[in-house]
């Protein structure tokens, strides 16, 4: 008999960032041996004791939509996959900016050009 696995959960919000806990419930008539967790079909990690959960560092993946699933295995080698859930990994790092011209303390008059430098881990869209 295949293990029964509940929905994989990643918290209450679809938008996630940082390190989050992913959990799943699983049961079987002869016992669940392992629950593996996947992001976009790629293995993340596994847990061998109930309650089944892992920590997922979202900073290791691209920003945007990702699909999480889990797969439970029983002692006979049977397995079953959970229903997928979708999460959106969000950027929580603010950009940095500084004025590069004119230099601090410079006396100016008339029409001048002001220049700035801006940096962000994802990209700057406007200054």
Residue 11 confidence (pLDDT)? 58
Instruction: Give the whole-angstrom CA distance, residue 36 versus residue 80.
Output: 10
Instruction: Give the whole-angstrom CA distance, residue 25 versus residue 8.
Output: 8
Instruction: Give the whole-angstrom CA distance, residue 119 versus residue 28.
Output: 51
* Residues 32-60 pLDDT 10s: 999 999 999 999 999 999 999 999 999 89
**Number of residues that make up the chain:** 127
Does 1 have pLDDT greater than 60? no
What are the b/e assignments for 99-122, b being 16+ CB within 10 Å?
eeeeeeeeeeeeeeeeeeeeeeee
Which is it for strands 64-74 and 79-81: parallel, antiparallel or unpaired?
antiparallel
pTM (two decimals): 0.74
Cα first-last separation, the chain: 59
Following CA atoms 83, 11, 63, 70 in sequence, which dihedral angle do they give, to the nearest 10 degrees?
A: -30
* 95-104 mean pLDDT: 90
């Amino acid at each position: 008999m295949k293990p029964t696995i509940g929905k994989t959960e990643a918290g209450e919000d679809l938008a996630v960032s940082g390190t989050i806990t992913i959990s799943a419930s699983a049961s079987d008539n002869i016992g669940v041996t392992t629950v593996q967790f996947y992001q976009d079909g790629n293995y993340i990690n596994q847990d061998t004791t109930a309650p089944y959960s892992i920590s997922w560092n979202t900073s290791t993946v691209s920003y945007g939509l990702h699909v999480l699933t889990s797969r439970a295995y029983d002692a006979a080698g049977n397995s079953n996959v959970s229903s997928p859930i979708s999460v959106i990994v969000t950027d929580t790092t603010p950009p940095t900016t500084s004025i590069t011209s004119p230099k601090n303390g410079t006396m100016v008059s008339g029409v001048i050009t002001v220049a700035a430098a801006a940096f962000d881990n994802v990209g700057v869209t406007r200054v």
